[in-house]
Amino acid sequence: MIQMYNVSKIFDNGVKAVNDVTLHIPKGDFLFLVGPSGAGKSTLSKLIFREELATRGKVLFNKKNVARYKGKEVPLLRRNIGMVFQDFRLLPKKNVFDNVGFTLQVTGKGRREIKKSVPAVLKMVGLENKSEMFPKQLSGGEQQRACIARAIVNRPPLIIADEPTGNLDPVTSRDIMSLLLDINRRGTTVIVATHAWDIVNSMRQRVVALSAGQVVRDEEKGAYDRCR
């Protein structure tokens, strides 16, 4: 699904956030991106989402170079990628139903389809009884579940979660990761950038460790603790 060949990203201030990374992520993979702050995890995610463009090298999504997406094609690429953020980024003046439904609305889906799809995905994430509540009325875990519902309602083949448990307590963090694992088992490729070494060590999924923008370890059923 994702192929990176000798990818580097150098910002205008001279910082080399990603340095000569070659990485392949097949369809259906569950992958943890780990490493210290500034290792390049978020930049790597942004290169896939085309929020940033590589300075050198190629980033392919389903065999197409993401740099070749122009203008109106970029939103078409992003419809294939559901994003989950540490700070949730829910619209404060919309309730849970409308926050999730907004993703479908901007892609041109009609009200009938929204009314059918949103309740189903809210049930999947355990928020079927919270649809009329607003973000400020939800706990942190519930807000993150709403964010995940928003990310998957369009049935994208890829989910990228950037520190999805960073603002959550340990029990809620485990629940969120279990939800992402369940989504992966349904066929969705999942990439999680995280510092949560305890979760990584307990789940034993593929681990790609970054340091100073370089891949220093790529291990199936890996752990975080060896790169701390």
Collapsed DSSP state (helix, strand, coil) of residue 14: coil
Strands (E), the chain: 2-10, 16-25, 30-34, 56-61, 64-65, 81-85, 158-162, 189-193, 206-211, 214-219
Residue 148: which of 76, 78, 75, 90 has the closest Cα? 90
Residue 44: which of 13, 73, 2 has the closest Cα? 2
The distance between the two most distant Cα atoms of the chain, rounded to a whole number of Å, is: 50
Instruction: Give 75's contacts (C-beta < 8 A, 6+ positions apart).
Output: none
> Which pLDDT score, from 0 to 100, does residue 75 have?
86
- Residues composing the chain: 228
Instruction: Show the tokens assigned to 15.
Output: 């910082």
| CATH number assigned to the domain covering 2-80+156-227 | 3.40.50.300
- φ/ψ of 177, rounded to 5, equals -70, -35
pLDDT in tens, 119-157: 999 999 999 999 999 999 999 999 999 999 999 999 999
Distance between CA atoms of residues 74 and 56, nearest Å: 19
> What is the dihedral sign for C-alpha 219, 1, 28, 122?
positive
pLDDT tier for residue 72 given thresholds of 50, 70 and 90: confident
pLDDT above 50: residue 100: yes
pLDDT tier for residue 228 given thresholds of 50, 70 and 90: very low
Distance between CA atoms of residues 87 and 12, nearest Å: 26
* Domain boundaries of the chain, sorted by first residue: 2-80+156-227, 92-155
Burial 172-208 (b: 16+ CB within 10 A, else e): bbbbbbebbeebbeeebbbbbbbbbbebbeebebbbb
> Which pLDDT score, from 0 to 100, does residue 85 have?
84
pLDDT in tens, 158-195: 999 998 888 888 888 899 999 999 999 999 999 999 98
CA 223 to chain centre: 20
- φ/ψ of 183, rounded to 5, equals -60, -40
